[in-house]
Amino acid sequence: DAGVIQSPRHEVTEMGQEVTLRCKPISGHNSLFWYRQTMMRGLELLIYFNNNVPIDDSGMPEDRFSAKMPNASFSTLKIQPSEPRDSAVYFCASSLAAHPRTSTDTQYFGPGTRLTVL
Amino acid sequence: AQSVSQHNHHVILSEAASLELGCNYSYGGTVNLFWYVQYPGQHLQLLLKYFSGDPLVKGIKGFEAEFIKSKFSFNLRKPSVQWSDTAEYFCAVNQGGGADGLTFGKGTHLIIQP
């Protein structure tokens, strides 16, 4: 089975540039999550979607960050303009979660995208 | 808002030693609890999870955890560790089931010496 797929695996860019991270959830899963991992703050939830609809984006750090899920098999996280403090590993995760309030399904994580902003 | 506290940031043990990693959460309502592991160079994998029922949960690779509601704790245990258990361990919590975002602790870096 293909797990959660993220691309690129590594991204190095310069401050001010636009960065787009991509995620393909596990086929059939209907919930998708974006997390960020840094040494200082650990793993933080940025945003998550149920059935392609954003449910909670309170973790998105600021307006420079945006996320979309145009269909059930694809999501993007965009940073525009990027800043050095955005350097982190960005993880995407998905779960089946047929019934959001009662589901006991596991979140499966992708390999992450390591972003370095110079 | 909920939060998760992992007491030990770095733990070093010898093979065959017993392991207990502490995890406390702050939220008074119903929570779901998880332990994830991140082996070097790999992505996060679920070790075990608690949603309801028996507070002693058994997971993969011989790990178990006990939910103690009165102490707001969900400590991870393994009776005898192996060198291959060297990894980063994360405790996490959510409220809304599989479709809810996770709040993670800062992680515990476990090193097992042969």
Measured between beta carbons, which residues in chain A are less than 8 angstroms from residue B102?
A: 33, 35, 43, 45, 107
Contact B46, B58 (CB under 8 A): no
Contact B35, B89 (CB under 8 A): yes
Residues of A with CB under 8 A from a CB of B: 30-31, 33, 35, 42-45, 48, 50, 55-56, 59, 91, 93, 95-97, 99-112
Residues of B with CB under 8 A from a CB of A: 32, 36, 42-46, 49, 51, 90, 92, 96-107
Residue B78 is predicted with a pLDDT of 97
**Confidence class for position B114, pLDDT limits 50, 70, 90:** confident
What's the rounded mean pLDDT across residues B7-23?
95
Indicate yes or no: CB of B46 within 8 angstroms of CB of A107: yes
Is A11's pLDDT higher than 70?
yes
- Tens digit of each residue's pLDDT (9 = 90 or more) over B24-35: 999 767 888 999
Residue of A nearest to B48 (CA): A106
User: What string of H, E and C letters represents the secondary structure of A51-97?
Assistant: CCEEEECCCCCCCCEEEEEEECCEEEEEECCCCHHHCEEEEEEEECC
Residue % of chain A over a pLDDT of 90: 75
Name which residue leads in pLDDT, A15 or B29.
A15
- Tens digit of each residue's pLDDT (9 = 90 or more) over B69-99: 999 999 999 999 999 999 999 999 988 666 7
| Residue for token pair 């800043």 | A83
Residue A62 is predicted with a pLDDT of 85
CA B62 to chain A, closest CA, distance in angstroms equals 19
Residue % of chain A over a pLDDT of 70: 92
